[in-house]
Amino acid sequence: MSEKTEYLYGLHPVTEALCAGRRRITAIHVADNKQAPRLQGVASLANDRKVPVLRTTSAKISDMTGGSSHQGICAAVSPVRFFDIETLLAGIRQTGGAPFLLILDNILDPHNYGAILRTALCAGVNGVIVPKDRSAPPNPTVSKASAGALEYMSIARVTNLAVTIKILKDHDLWIAGLDVSSAQSLFATDLCIPIALVIGGEERGIRPLVKKQCDFLISIPQKEKLNSLNASVAAGIVLYETFRQRENL
């Protein structure tokens, strides 16, 4: 069976896919009416990596990318490669330092998913764990929303989050769930420990069975009772507080 082809679109995702070198890239398609220097830079990068650059129409690129805002460029690529949990953990151990993982439960919106990945990469997250059935797929929309961060992040897709959490605990990680009802403030919590942070979706939050597996729950203090922070904003706050503590900033 031949490998499925996806079409990454936009300058950042295509550039980062070329730089990261994790995917098989069969061709870069550039609109023939676009002569922007940044597009020429991507074409030059593709040539350096022996990836064919094909001139085509903007309309053809729109057809390939489903009418998305493609900035005059797309790349025919293989799908994201997932890591199994043991391989992910083994790679983290080789880097040294306390592991810093992110578990996404019920993150179904690809734009939220991409925004979270972008922040996670900047905050030094070692890897992201997602459930097979309750997660947006890491598709070109996610890569675009992540500004290409998807191309660098190690992602493990698992069948059962609760079982995976038990494996993480066996590897001496603490599991902290972000939950608006928790009385424990994020800012009064030691996040320098080996940790996996669990972020739930906006509508349902963390599922009860997953929440039950958490060692403790934390919340972001708010002036109002209304839970007004969306998933990507909440993730950004907790990830950067973890980064701040670990970098002693």
Residue 166: CB partners within 8 Å, gap ≥ 6?
213
Average pLDDT, stretch 20-46? 86
* CA pair distance 145, 107, nearest whole angstrom: 14
Domains and CATH numbers, the chain: 6-77 (3.30.1330.30), 85-246 (3.40.1280.10)
Give the dihedral of Cα atoms 130, 133, 135, 139; nearest 10 deg. Answer: 100
Neighbours of 193 (CB within 10 A): 16
The arithmetic mean of pLDDT across residues 30-44, rounded, is 80
Collapsing DSSP to helix, strand or coil, 104 comes out as strand
Model confidence pLDDT, tens digit, residues 110-131: 999 999 999 999 999 999 999 9
Lowest mean per-residue pLDDT among 22-36, 90-104, 163-177: 22-36
pLDDT of residue 156: 95
Q: Is the pLDDT of residue 88 over 60?
A: yes
User: In this predicted model, what pLDDT tens digit does every residue of 187-207 receive, in sequence order?
Assistant: 999 999 999 999 998 777 899
Q: Using a cut of 0.75, tell me whether the model's pTM lies above it.
A: yes
Which amino acid, 133?
Answer: D
CB-based contact 153:104 (threshold 8 Å): no
Mean pLDDT of 55-79: 89
> Are residues 220 and 186 in contact, defined by beta-carbon separation less than 8 angstroms?
yes
Question: Looking at the predicted structure, is the pLDDT value of residue 227 above 70?
Answer: no
Pairing of strands 73-77, 6-9: antiparallel
Radius of gyration of the chain (CA): 19
User: Looking at residue 1, what is its pLDDT?
Assistant: 43
pLDDT at residue number 4: 87
